[in-house]
Structure 1
Amino acid sequence: MPQPSHILIPVLAVALIGCKPEEPKVFPQDRLTVEYSIDREAICVGDPVELIVTAYFPTNGTLKIPEIGKEKNVVLLKRDWANVPREDGLTQSESRYSITSFRLGEHVVSTNLISCRVGDQTFATNFPQVVLNVESSLPEDASSQIADIKPMQKLPGRVPPWLWISALVAVTAFLVGWITSKLWKHREHLIPSAPAIPPHVLAFRALEMLKGKGLLEKNECNPFYTELSIILRNYLEGRFSLNATDETTEEIVEEMSKSPELDGTQRNILQDFMRQTDIVKFAKGHPDRATMESAFSTTKQFVEETKLTDITIKPNT
């Protein structure tokens, strides 16, 4: 029987090796580097697949990633995008795709180029060689032969048309009489519906509730910026008819940059706030309290300056 010390030494060695911190990857500073990961390549028809494409490029570069999707061969279900600052002077861009396919066989996701322009130079590399192998969801022993036609069945006796018409008239008369009776009985209790609450009023109420939670005083920046971002996205959705709660920061900024209702200062305020929120959420940034208070005041100012002024609402009773 082995002694306890003989067992303990290998266990401690494995534990120490496993606790060794992973060395950070080093990427070239003057070129474009692309990595990818995919949760699986063999799927059944319609199964979603998560593909992550990560690009590393100089901070002064402009990245261009091609669109993917080829009718039923490769279908793009959803795409999320975020830029993550790095300490080595590079920018890390992470694109998350949810894709699928509705045709059997092997399908290449994309053959286009990913490019990055830095000044007068352009760096390009092929889109990752990702191939979806779409298999049938039918069992292997399923027969491919067409089954024989079933024998004809006798139809039940036909109901005379006048009987159907009589039944329909009777039911209609009963429903009309019943609804009329209910409406007449409760005619004095009918109350008109309250007008819809304007988006800026909802935003101001939400901001007051957020202020009362004490997240600023506790210096809890992550939940603070998360709730502040949700308030602003809900306001943009109600005020400018955007699908802001499901769009990425890049998509929101691009749509609002075309809005004639915003001036240049307001567009910059919106863009700076959305970028700062992404840094806190994805890069684990930790701004100080003064920055958090400034973000709160800026959001309130943006709502105040862009609200519709011809809408009034009655006070709560």
Structure 2
Amino acid sequence: MKTDTYRSAFFKSTLTRVIPWLVLLALAGCKEVEQKAVPQDRLTVEYSVDREDILIGDPVQLTVTAYYPTNGTLVLPEIGREKDVVLLSRDWNDIPREDGLTQSETRYSITSFRLGEHVVSTGTISCAVGEDLFSTNFPDINLTVSSSLPDDASSEIADLQPVHKLPGRIPAWVWIIPGSVLLAFLIGLLTSKLWKNRETLIPSAPPVPPHIIAFQALETLKNKGLLEKGECNPFYTELSLILRTYLDGRFRLNATDETTEEIVENLSRSPELNMDQQSILRDFMTQADMVKFAKGHPDRSTMESAFATTQQFVEETKMEAQS
């Protein structure tokens, strides 16, 4: 009985000393996390990456955090360049703040299927606030990709072993004569049928020029009434596809699968476009990307201007018919 009484007193004494500390720890855990102070009048970008040295095909987690005014529109460049940098997935969310800024966090999962060192992106991150445009370079991130094979692995392919033929029971000449007769019969039968069923070949019509296709598609888009309804996202999506299809046929590009950065870079070397036409193309495609990816909302006059600019660009750059 004395032992039980002693244990009970010890247990109560211990609880008396521990409970205040537990209460303090609980209150500390409920303390609101202070938000990081960042400049209020410009675009601020931070990033984190879990690793830069990988084996070929290993996923890399990249997080890009941007701070910008709440009335701004953020545009991030597309990531993905053949086998050098492959985009596996992307998601983002906005974190609420109380200092008049928007905090946007974009998470990328990327990898590479080509050995060597590759820059993730050379594009820019921009934010439009009214008539002001703030921009900064995409974080300088390099992926160093190594092979998963050991250093002493041989890259030579072993030769095939020689084929050992089984001895035949029937001489080869026994099969040659019937085979030749059958082949001659089939050739004669096929020739006879083709001669009986011959038809006069009609020359195919010449291909429709790219600018004619573009003008027809523009007229169809105009008749859909998207301008009158103010549906900017489907309008810019179709208008961008019409322009990219025209660039495919007119300049022999793979514009429907390339990023805006790659299209502008390729056409900047084309002698068929002057500086004004290159600038018009760059401005339109940047505006279309802002609507499609950054959820911008241009007014009707801006949409009509984009339509007219595309029509003018096709008219000025169309290939003249050869006499």
TM-score range relative to shorter protein = 0.5 to 0.7
* Paired letter, 2:84: L
Distance in 2 between residues matched to 1:124 and 1:277, nearest whole Å: 20
Return the TM-score normalized by structure 2: 0.56
Q: In the TM superposition, what whole-angstrom CA distance separates every residue of 1:55-84 from its partner, at most 9, and x where no partner exists?
A: 7599xxxxxx9x999xxxxx625369xxxx
Matched, 1:186 2:197: yes
Within 5 Å, give how 1:1-317 maps onto structure 2.
27=38, 33-36=45-48, 49=59, 51-52=61-62, 54=64, 76-78=84-86, 98-100=110-112, 127=141, 155=166, 157=168, 160-162=171-173, 165-166=176-177, 169-170=180-181, 172-174=183-185, 176-310=187-321
Return the TM-score normalized by structure 1: 0.57
Distance in 2 between residues matched to 1:268 and 1:115, nearest whole Å: 17
Q: Check conservation: 1:47, 1:100, Cα contact below 8 A.
A: yes
Q: How far is 1:114 from its partner? A: 9.0
Distance in 2 between residues matched to 1:286 and 1:244, nearest whole Å: 25
Distance in 2 between residues matched to 1:131 and 1:46, nearest whole Å: 6
Residue number in structure 2 paired with 1:144: none
Distance in 1 between residues matched to 2:179 and 2:56, nearest whole Å: 43
* Structure 1 residues without counterparts, runs of 5 or longer: 1-22, 59-64, 70-74, 81-85, 117-121, 136-151, 313-317
Residue aligned with 1:54, SS: strand
Deviates more, 1:283-292 or 1:46-55: 46-55
Residue aligned with 2:288, SS: helix
Q: In the TM superposition, what whole-angstrom CA distance separates every residue of 1:294-316 from its partner, at most 9, and x where no partner exists?
A: 1111111111111111259xxxx
Distance in 2 between residues matched to 1:78 and 1:160, nearest whole Å: 59
Q: Check conservation: 1:249, 1:274, Cα contact below 8 A.
A: yes
Q: How far is 1:205 from its partner? A: 1.6
Distance in 2 between residues matched to 1:283 and 1:207, nearest whole Å: 24
* Paired letter, 2:47: E
Identity %: 49
Q: In the TM superposition, what whole-angstrom CA distance separates every residue of 1:274-305 from its partner, at most 9, and x where no partner exists?
A: 01001101111111111111111111111111
Q: Number of aligned pairs?
A: 244
Residue number in structure 2 paired with 1:5: none
Q: How far is 1:218 from its partner? A: 1.2
Residue aligned with 2:208, SS: coil
Distance in 1 between residues matched to 2:257 and 2:305, nearest whole Å: 26
Distance in 2 between residues matched to 1:202 and 1:181, nearest whole Å: 43
Q: 1:132 to 1:162 in 2, by over 3 A?
A: same
Distance in 2 between residues matched to 1:215 and 1:31, nearest whole Å: 33
Q: How far is 1:266 from its partner? A: 1.0
Q: Check conservation: 2:62, 2:108, Cα contact below 8 A.
A: yes
Residue aligned with 2:272, SS: coil
Residue aligned with 2:84, SS: strand
Q: 1:79 to 1:248 in 2, by over 3 A?
A: farther
Q: How far is 1:33 from its partner? A: 3.9
Q: How far is 1:198 from its partner? A: 1.6
Q: How far is 1:35 from its partner? A: 1.8
**Root-mean-square deviation (Å):** 5.2
Q: Check conservation: 2:56, 2:112, Cα contact below 8 A.
A: yes
* Paired letter, 2:64: T
Q: How far is 1:194 from its partner? A: 2.4
Q: Check conservation: 2:56, 2:147, Cα contact below 8 A.
A: no
Q: In the TM superposition, what whole-angstrom CA distance separates every residue of 1:240-284 from its partner, at most 9, and x where no partner exists?
A: 011111111111111111110011221111111101001101111
Distance in 1 between residues matched to 2:183 and 2:290, nearest whole Å: 62
Q: Check conservation: 2:80, 2:87, Cα contact below 8 A.
A: no
